[in-house]
Structure 1
């Protein structure tokens, strides 16, 4: 009997050993100087470059991307590229930490509603060339001003190194996007001086060897351990006395099970306000993320390009993104509405067939379809069709993240763009679950018609952690200078899309949201309407036929920027 019990009981001794090493090394890591941290990040970049191709190709195979498909580019840009970019951003911030000098080179302005907005992109000549026309502003929480911004930035570095005390953080990694786990670990390591035990998600723990190789300088300093395992390992670590803080990326249901418990016990604990875990917990959780289409006079080429954009917002990573567009908000009386949807259907039909690789997808799609028996299906060839259903058929669509290739639509009456946008913002705020990211597609002429000041006033009422205007919020995820997280104000009892921010390489302590904007039309077509930006079809578009090449080139460029590398990037970008 004892032998049987020993055989079936999980062995957590390896976890205990890892935590013991981290606990021993936590103060030494907290007191590590900026110069040494810069050297560590530089070494990580070199090691990351060595494993980047194996990382991207392995992830593509596990995600069932067809061999030779340009979609392999997704695994470059959302994997090694994003981590390499974060290393560069952190190195720059650390090199100018004295007096927080890095803030002096960030343009600032006051928004129409009186908030401080800090422009974090473009930040270099490379940004202006490679992401031409893309801007990203971080809107600070209302009590942050230009005068006190330094006091609300990188506060963890205000304590002299010799006086710092370390902590052990548990990071529960996500299974969908490869860079999430290391970027979440970076937040704890470099912005909060905490050592990290990173538990990989079983869905993508095939990345463990690549991460251990790339992040070896942190492992050697007993600042990081990477472990595998399922729910039993996560549960053990969450309650371990040597774990001081927890960061979760996943679903709200998983968060609540960790914090409150399962079943009736969890419901009772939540009602009583008595969490099972008495530790600081931050999180990035999902949402029913909207894309608001604003009526205007779109050309046939605009309709085609924005259909590609919508297909990307829905089907990047085969639809398994926390900020995938799940609610398409449309103007009911817009004459071009049906043409846009027809273009979207056509784009999806022509994409490389990509399977629904994430566990549980079939059940979630079936549940989605059961709530809309009259749903349409946009064919994707040999891949499962994208289910498209009116959200008006059932409140379920506004309250449940589907995390699969399925899309809801909601229509709002009216032809006045400003009045329509006000109603769309109200619907998103008041009806949809979550506050992670929202997209707005609006013709530049329509913004001028509304008035730029009035347009920003309306946008300021949209309470999401990232707002993308003629862009996808996923671009802010890839641009690691941007803080990434839900709109502030959620609590453990009403966690919504999470608590806190990650990425954020300028280390702002009190960001409220990011507003990221991209050109309406790609280069060179934009030249016909007077546009001066140089961004062609973006490499993160699912329709880009050279993204596998551009993603690799961009990763290598992030490692060691050079004018000599630009021609290859530009030529392949134009061919995409």
Structure 2
């Protein structure tokens, strides 16, 4: 185990499975490690008092200092991520690390400062926001674009948050701010069990603990991300210096000790439902009986973001050859971004059996899977999970130099159950078909993914603008019936992850004994209460084809596409922009993006 002192040696770190047996966890830990952990929690308890006394203007200043430290550490941050993921430093894939690392954290820090600024002036964070409406009497809150910079940088993209049905406009405005509205009412020390795949997730979770819930944070890194200890320590030094954050590393025994520590008031985990259940219910024969009886081992509240099997619903229409190729790259991006190790990775393409272009689209999918640059598997257990998919579906097609990418095309006589209920967390892409066209197909798709797919984190819909226009209110009502935390229309749900104002998490209503994609949300820089889902929308075609077909969108191929050749430079430029926004930086970003 190490604390925020990088000179302390890191313990050996096997798989990060967290035991919930308190006695076993204590007995398996070295006395010195337990003492270090106890000291870290004690220092955070003192920091909680400091946080309670800190005014909102002082918190804004502190977040500004963190923003500056993250900007100064960005190169070190990305270098560590590249090493952790065994990436070629010259690869275009490095752009993923810039965008899903420093860029999104810097953007979120700016957004949180803006929200706290409104609260400091005695206003709601939504005081100057025009709210809208969504099906079912829902109130909608626009979150993208949030400022003129975003309106140009992400031209053609938008996002809005749909509040839970029955929530009124006045309630939405009055409740925005969460814990920041009562800064002296702190809530102890929160344990954040960090994700092992995307480097912005642990810091964003920590920031949400601090600002939204008034909890100081102990961040335990996933062993896969131990290389991030040094850059995180430098980037978040302003929080560490005030005793508001401690960072530790270690294996499952450290996690087990911490989740059961009396000094921890709350647990937040990003990971799998399996690990969540081990924490909550324990292991072995006793776990099932405790779950059945509703008597969890964990006696403190827990929130979670746990992934799932994300659908990509493709609306049938008359697509051009260029449309088929571009959207095939879009689908492959949703599966292969970060090597396939994303909780929001698109896993199953849902096609109409009556779509005349079904085979043409599948041909383009195969081509995109074949030509996307190879990268070595880096997340533990990836080869085994791909092997399990091959065993379940022997007819799966192999792509890539090592055959590590799979395409599983499910036909009418095949059993799709395993594909629909297993989050492979690896480069496995499935295809299923459903009957119908138009509204009938969309309604069947919504019913199917709600009922049969595991998880509710995100769903994607791709379709011609003319098709969506023709569906009209039927399309919007279908969005309302989709039980997912983020729904992306002609973009990827990852856009919701990158949007600071968008809440990120599962569809609300899950419970400890049926956790699905988790409980609660993070990010949410407007600090909205009672959110239901985020709807993100993008252009069906990149510029200039978008303009030629009547879409008002000036955005080229997105830099997060796995086929974007200039992604490394564009990602760095975006992070530099978020470090110090300026109109003068825009031309370089667009020039690089258009070279994708």
Preserved contact between residue 127 and residue 173 of structure 2 (Cα < 8 Å): no
Counterparts of 1:558 and 1:87, CA distance in 2: 9
Partner of 2:572: 552
Q: Residue 308 of structure 1: CA displacement? A: 0.8
From 88, 92, 98, give the equivalent of 1:76.
98
1:372-411 matches, within 5 Å, as: 372-377=393-398, 379-382=399-402, 384-390=404-410, 392-411=414-433
Partner of 1:255: 276
Preserved contact between residue 41 and residue 263 of structure 2 (Cα < 8 Å): yes
1:424-443 matches, within 5 Å, as: 424-443=445-464
- Structure 2: runs of 5+ lacking an equivalent: 1-26
Partner of 1:47: 69
From 198, 218, 222, give the equivalent of 2:243.
222
Preserved contact between residue 125 and residue 177 of structure 2 (Cα < 8 Å): no
Pair 224,9 (structure 1): closer, same or farther in 2 beyond 3 Å: closer
1:449-460 matches, within 5 Å, as: 449-451=470-472, 453-460=473-480
Preserved contact between residue 470 and residue 517 of structure 1 (Cα < 8 Å): yes
Preserved contact between residue 372 and residue 393 of structure 1 (Cα < 8 Å): no
Preserved contact between residue 66 and residue 353 of structure 1 (Cα < 8 Å): no
Q: Residue 101 of structure 1: CA displacement? A: 3.7
Matched, 1:114 2:134: no
Partner of 2:311: 290
Counterparts of 2:170 and 2:418, CA distance in 1: 46
Partner of 1:171: 192
SS in 1 for 2:98: helix
Q: Residue 440 of structure 1: CA displacement? A: 0.2
Deviations along 1:72-100, whole A, 9 cap, x unmatched?
00000000011101101101001111443
Partner of 1:313: 334
Counterparts of 1:16 and 1:233, CA distance in 2: 11
Segment of structure 1 superposing worse, 275-284 or 149-158: 149-158
SS in 2 for 1:103: coil
SS in 2 for 1:353: coil
Partner of 2:108: 86
Partner of 2:88: 66
From 378, 382, 385, give the equivalent of 1:357.
378
Partner of 2:495: 475
From 248, 252, 261, give the equivalent of 1:231.
252
Partner of 1:146: 169
Partner of 1:542: 562
Partner of 1:322: 343
Counterparts of 1:176 and 1:329, CA distance in 2: 26
Preserved contact between residue 200 and residue 226 of structure 1 (Cα < 8 Å): yes
Partner of 2:434: 412
Segment of structure 1 superposing worse, 33-42 or 212-221: 33-42
Q: Residue 393 of structure 1: CA displacement? A: 2.1
Q: Residue 192 of structure 1: CA displacement? A: 0.9
Moved over 6 A (4+): 5-10
Counterparts of 2:233 and 2:497, CA distance in 1: 23
Q: How many residues align?
A: 567
Matched, 1:202 2:223: yes
Q: Residue 10 of structure 1: CA displacement? A: 7.0
Preserved contact between residue 31 and residue 164 of structure 1 (Cα < 8 Å): no
From 458, 461, 475, give the equivalent of 2:481.
461
Counterparts of 2:483 and 2:123, CA distance in 1: 29
Counterparts of 2:31 and 2:186, CA distance in 1: 35
Q: Residue 15 of structure 1: CA displacement? A: 0.6
Matched, 1:25 2:58: no
Partner of 2:591: 571
Matched, 1:136 2:159: yes
Q: Residue 458 of structure 1: CA displacement? A: 1.3
Q: Residue 335 of structure 1: CA displacement? A: 1.0
Deviations along 1:270-320, whole A, 9 cap, x unmatched?
011011011111000011110000101111111111011001100000100
Preserved contact between residue 66 and residue 352 of structure 1 (Cα < 8 Å): no
SS in 2 for 1:54: helix
Segment of structure 1 superposing worse, 322-331 or 384-393: 384-393
Partner of 2:212: 191
Counterparts of 1:128 and 1:165, CA distance in 2: 36
SS in 2 for 1:11: helix
SS in 2 for 1:307: helix
Alpha-carbon RMSD: 1.5
Partner of 1:561: 581
Q: Residue 396 of structure 1: CA displacement? A: 1.5
Counterparts of 1:10 and 1:157, CA distance in 2: 37
SS in 2 for 1:421: helix
SS in 2 for 1:169: strand
Q: Residue 383 of structure 1: CA displacement? A: 6.3
Counterparts of 2:166 and 2:354, CA distance in 1: 41
SS in 1 for 2:383: helix
From 511, 517, 524, give the equivalent of 1:497.
517
Preserved contact between residue 29 and residue 254 of structure 2 (Cα < 8 Å): no
Preserved contact between residue 115 and residue 140 of structure 1 (Cα < 8 Å): yes
SS in 2 for 1:472: coil
SS in 1 for 2:405: strand
SS in 2 for 1:198: strand
Preserved contact between residue 171 and residue 248 of structure 1 (Cα < 8 Å): yes
Preserved contact between residue 353 and residue 383 of structure 1 (Cα < 8 Å): no
Counterparts of 1:233 and 1:343, CA distance in 2: 47
Q: Residue 382 of structure 1: CA displacement? A: 4.6
Partner of 1:11: 33
Q: Residue 398 of structure 1: CA displacement? A: 1.3
TM-score under structure 2 length normalisation: 0.93
SS in 1 for 2:420: helix
Matched, 1:366 2:399: no
TM-score under structure 1 length normalisation: 0.96
Preserved contact between residue 386 and residue 404 of structure 2 (Cα < 8 Å): no
Matched, 1:300 2:292: no
Q: Residue 394 of structure 1: CA displacement? A: 4.1
SS in 1 for 2:534: strand
Counterparts of 1:571 and 1:133, CA distance in 2: 17
Preserved contact between residue 490 and residue 539 of structure 2 (Cα < 8 Å): yes
Counterparts of 1:383 and 1:561, CA distance in 2: 43
